[in-house]
Amino acid sequence: MNKPTGEGGFTPLERFIDDRAHRLLAPPPESRLWKGIVELIVFALKQAWACVFGAAMLAVLFTTRLWYPDHAFLARNDFITIAAVVIQVLMVVFRLETLRELRVVILFHVVGTGMELFKTSVGSWIYQGPGILHLFNVPLYSGFMYAAVGSYMVRVYRLFDLRFDLYPRRWITAILAALIYLNFFTHHYIWDFRWVLLLAVVIVFGRCVMHFRVFRVRPRMPLVVAFLLVALFIWVAENLATWSNAWTYPNQLDGWELVSITKLVSWFLLMIISVVLVAWVYPPRPLDSAPVRTRSD
């Protein structure tokens, strides 16, 4: 449902869906109410399509939490890892994700796994249960949860044809992202700079406005607000994942409870790392730039 941006940005399956959607919704709306309903439905469908990787991962975590046999030959953690690999392969085989996007998803996987190895070693969170598909204390499916975030980010970028006003210079955002990533490690040994970094994010991105196309309209939103909304969404997903025992925070060892709302700051800062990685595949474009066709590998 992104016809004005040029169909080259879609995978073949998405192009098929887009064509059918435009035929169905081609008649102009008869009222402002119906126009708003159409835009809301299209927005929800695009978001759901962008979340397909993460939704599949959560489905695996939920079903195995509820029904996986305790004494199965294959440990639950290993089953989840195998399922995650299958999901990723199917995403590419069925053209739900382009090979260009796969590159940044793999980068999310690597960056996330590095953080997991360190954070579990210092006790920030714990993975429970046996398994052989582990790297030290970290089951290999952990990297796929970061990959799910990467998949969402790159898919949202092209599905909503994101454009930006006053986007900061990319070398500045890259330095800021590197400092944020470094602070996730160093704050265990020296002063935690997250509040300074949070202020830096507001200064660097505070003037930037994001424009996104839904169907017939192109709303806009301050980019910092978009960061906060995505961070809130991930925090909700994190609560679902910890309930399914994908991992456990120390305060959840005696029974599950909500993840601290302060984790929103961590996820907010992680958005900067995510945006920099996505910008490697899709350089930010201003609103007045001509539509650019992107090759679906």
- Top pLDDT among 146 and 8 is at 146
Both tokens of 137, joined, read 């204390």
Contact 64, 75 (CB under 8 A): no
Identify any residues that bridge with 138 across adjacent strands, giving them in sequence order: 135
Whole-number pLDDT of residue 71: 86
Q: Kindly list the strands in the beta sheet with 220-222, ordered across the sheet, starting from the edge strand earlier in the chain.
A: 163-165, 209-211, 220-222
**Confidence label for 294 from pLDDT (cuts 50, 70 and 90):** very low
CB-based contacts of 62: which residues, under 8 Å, 6+ apart? 240, 244
The percent of residues above 90 in pLDDT, for the chain, comes to: 64
pLDDT given for residue 291 in this prediction: 52
**pLDDT for residue 240:** 93
pTM above 0.95, yes or no: no
Cβ atoms of 239 and 59 within 8 Å: the answer is: no
Are the beta carbons of 165 and 285 closer than 8 angstroms? no
- Three-state SS across the chain? CCHHHCHHHCCHHHHHHHHHHHHHHCCCCCCHHHHHHHHHHHHHHHHHHHCHHHHHHHHHHHHHHHHCCCCCCCCHHHHHHHHHHHHHHHHHHCCCCCHHHHHHHHHHHHHHHHHHHHHHHCCCCECCCCCCCEECCEECCHHHHHHHHHHHHHHHHHHCCCEEECCCCHHHHHHHHHHHHHHHHHCCCCCCCHHHHHHHHHHHHCCCEEECCCCCCCCEEEHHHHHHHHHHHHHHHHHHHHHCCCCECHHHCCCCCCCCCCHHHHHHHHHHHHHHHHHHHCCCCECCCCCCCCCCC
What single-letter amino acid sits at 108? F
Tokens representing 114?
């590095």
Mean pLDDT of the region 251-261: 90
Based on the number of CB atoms within 10 Å of its own CB, is 267 exposed (0-12), middle (13-18) or buried (19 or more)? buried
CA 281, 273, 151, 50 dihedral sign is negative
> For 66-97, what is each residue's pLDDT tens digit?
999 988 999 999 999 999 999 999 998 888 88
Long-range Cβ pairs for the range 29-36 (8 Å, 24+): 35/216
Structure tokens at 73: 């030959």
- Cβ atoms of 166 and 209 within 8 Å: the answer is yes
